[in-house]
Amino acid sequence: MSLYVQKYGGTSVGSIERIEAVADKVAAFRAKGHDMVVVLSAMSGETNRLIELAYQIQERPDPREMDVLVSTGEQVTIALLSMALKKRGYDACSYTGGQVKILTDNAHTKARIQQIDVERMRRDLDAGRVVVVAGFQGVDGDGNITTLGRGGSDTTGVALAAALDAAECQIYTDVDGVYTTDPRVVDSARRLDRITFEEMLEMASLGSKVLQIRAVEFAGKYKVPLRVLSTFEEGEGTLISLDEEDNEMEQPVVSGIAFNRDEAKLTIRGVPDNPGVACRILAPIGAENIEVDVIVQNISAVDGTTDFTFTVHRNDLNKAREVLQRVADELGAREVVSDDKIAKVSIVGVGMRSHANVASRMFSALGEDNINIQMITTSEIKISVIIDERYLELAVRALHSEFELSEPRKVQQGQ
């Protein structure tokens, strides 16, 4: 008998029929004697409908009132699920974020959870009730309704699991787990049984959008085992948990291949290579709220100048180019060039830490297919390369094959 927190997303509760199906799932767990806390999103489309109403009034609606408005979406689904559970003979009780005291800061529309008062939930659980909580919302210290921003229901689930010391936080969604890479690119992409928090963070931020990144960070911080499963299909999903490389033989070198086409590359050529030049180039970019991802500075040329290259989100390319041109004029640089036909491909895996030559295996696999690497960046558990976007699928398939990700996991010795 364990305590489970289950979170169901908008498509999982998108109609009365689907809410009834969720009630069946929850009831089955409860019938086994488990204590159940269920976190729900709004019915799919409802949050957008509400936001649309607000936009009819004003282009930038007041954030406090926006939270009052959109938080109604989850309040509808928690009431309906509780009714459906009661119909099945299971006692249940619904709570808004404010009622269950999910205390947040007052950053409306993107608030962060500070504290959760579990007393009332414990009392309900002890009385055998299923506790049904509105995701995505909380209340600030002054009693104002707040929301956690898009995807915040995942964070609510993890936070409740942490506060209640749950055995597992199960995120039910419309995919059945985390894959080695996008199955639309690689037919033989395989669902991972397990992945570490760190790997998931690298995968998520790189485009395998299964879970909200803040939820994963939160789960990692509080060591809440997180499982991603499908609402619509049976299966064990993917368990996201602590790094257990030391005690598990099956740890692979690389867990997955992430990629995206969202970036563009900017290069400033022939910059006089003085101390502090990187800062003088990047500070004006940051001042415009443009996020920079990969950064590479060439070694100085004979003439004492250098080239400086970085990537930004494609949507920011024009603005970044303008800023960079201004900087180039100030610094007396030769020219600014840009390229938005690039892609980023990354291999991710905690196993890299203890296995040598992972990078060279990656580069040689790409080289065998004549894929030119434009930029490289590495972290402890990730290696990313920037390539011409035409070669993206080819690169992902080559790497998926090189690191044998289609095979069930087995020990892979570093060479």
Q: Which residues bind a second copy (CB under 8 A)?
A: 16, 19-20, 50, 53-54, 56-58, 61-62, 64-66, 68-69, 71-72, 75-76, 78-80, 82-84, 86-87, 93-94, 96, 98-99, 143-145
What is the phi/psi pair of residue 81, to 5°? Answer: -65, -40
For the bound state, the minimum distance from the C-beta of residue 21 to a second copy, rounded and expressed in Å, comes to 12
DSSP state of 408: P
Compute the distance between CA of residue 128 and CA of residue 17 in angstroms, rounded to an integer: 25
Catalogue the E-assigned strands of 148-280. 168-173, 194-196, 226-230, 238-241, 256-260, 263-272
Q: How far is the CB of 265 from a second copy (least distance, A)?
A: 41
Q: How near is the Cβ of 160 to a second copy at its closest, in Å?
A: 18
DSSP for residue 191: B
Residue whose pair of structure tokens reads 């799919």 in the numeric block: 44
Q: Taking a C-beta distance cutoff of 8 angstroms, is the pair 346, 251 a contact?
A: no
**Residue 20 Cβ vs a second copy, minimum distance, rounded to whole Å:** 7
For residues 59 and 246, which CB has a smaller minimum distance to a second copy in the complex? 59
Residue 166 CB, nearest approach to a second copy (Å)? 23
Q: Minimum distance from CB of 128 to a second copy (Å)?
A: 16
Tell the smallest beta-carbon distance from residue 101 to a second copy (Å): 9
Interacting residues of 179 by C-beta distance below 8 A, sequence separation 6+: 189, 190, 191, 192, 208, 256
Cβ closer to a second copy: 47 or 255? 47
Residue 139 vs 189, nearer CB to a second copy: 139
Residue 292 has which token pair? 């920079």
Q: Say how far apart CA 62 and CA 59 lie, in whole Å.
A: 10
Residue nearer to a second copy on the CB measure, 83 or 337: 83
Least distance CB 226 / a second copy (angstroms): 28
Nearer to a second copy by C-beta: 76 or 213?
Answer: 76
For the stretch 339-373, what's the b/e string if a residue is b when 16 or more beta carbons lie within 10 angstroms of its beta carbon?
bbebbbbbbbbbbbeebeebeebbeebbeeeebee
Estimate the crossing angle of helix 213-222 against helix 197-205, to 10 degrees. Answer: 170
In degrees rounded to 5, what are phi and psi of residue 412? Answer: -120, 115
Whichever of 61 and 225 has its CB closer to a second copy, that residue is: 61
Cβ proximity to a second copy: between 117 and 407 the closer is: 117
CB-wise, 76 or 337, nearer to a second copy?
76
